[in-house]
Structure formats: structure tokens, C-alpha cells
Amino acid sequence: MKNKGFTLVEVIVVMAVIGILVSIIVPSYKHHVKRAREAVLQENLFHIRDAIAKFYSDKNNYPTALEDLVTFRYLKKIPTDPVAKKREWELIYFEPEEMEDFDPEIFESIIDVRSMAEGTTVDGIAYKEL
């Protein structure tokens, strides 16, 4: 009578093959997840910057807070930074020229946003430079 089942050697060979496949797939998966987060980050930055430009075009003034973009319905909500995993952005404020008169409303105006995430993209660009 013949025994049915696998030998220990067969099981070890199958486990080794599975281990090799996993070691090949996991880094590729992580790379693709990082690329996807970077794509979402760039898309979110585009939408915020577009909303700021539309706000300025309509009101002839920049917003003083990102919440103004939601209040005036330029955005449904402030997008999340998928890399930093926060809904916080580094705000870039308007800087008047040296000879320009000081206007406190303009001085507090947000003209751009940047990611607060540390590190670089897959392409080597700092997240803060996107």
C-alpha cells in the first residue's frame, strides 16, 4: 500500500519557492504603493492650488485660511496629505516687495501650499518641493 501525502522535502521546497516569490513581490508592491501616494499628493496639491487661483480670480484677494476655500465652496473639504497622513499643509504667505506699502490683509494671504512630509519621492524630489 502506498502512503498518500507529501514528504518533508517536498514541503520544504514549496515553502522555499513561496519565500522567494514573496521576497520578490513585496518590494515591488511597496514601490507601487509609494508611487500611488505621490500621485495622490500631486493631485491634491493641484486641486488646492487651483482653488486658491479661482478664489483670487473671483474675489481679487487671496484666502487667509484654507478653510476659506471650503467656506466659499471652492473645495468640499481640505484634502489629506497621503504621505504625511495629515490634513495639514505648509502655508506659503504673500510677501510684499521692499518698496510696497504694508497691507495686513494682503500680508496674511495664502498664495500656495506645500506638503509637510519628510523625505523624497521615488524620483528623488523632496516632498516639500512638489
In a domain, 41, yes or no: yes
In a domain, 3, yes or no: no
pLDDT tens digits, one per residue of 64-116: 999 999 999 999 999 999 999 999 999 999 877 665 565 655 668 899 999 99
In a domain, 64, yes or no: yes
51 close to 69: Cβ distance less than 8 angstroms: yes
The pLDDT mean for the chain works out to: 89
In a domain, 27, yes or no: yes
Return the pLDDT at 107.
65
pLDDT tens digits, one per residue of 21-68: 999 999 889 999 999 999 999 999 999 999 999 999 999 889 999 999
- CA-closest candidate to residue 65, choices 117, 103, 108, 115: 108
Domain with 59, as residue range(s), is 8-129
In a domain, 1, yes or no: no
Domain count, the chain: 1
Beta-carbon contacts of 62 under 8 Å, excluding residues fewer than 6 positions away, are 52, 55, 56, 94, 106, 109, 110, 111
98 close to 65: Cβ distance less than 8 angstroms: no
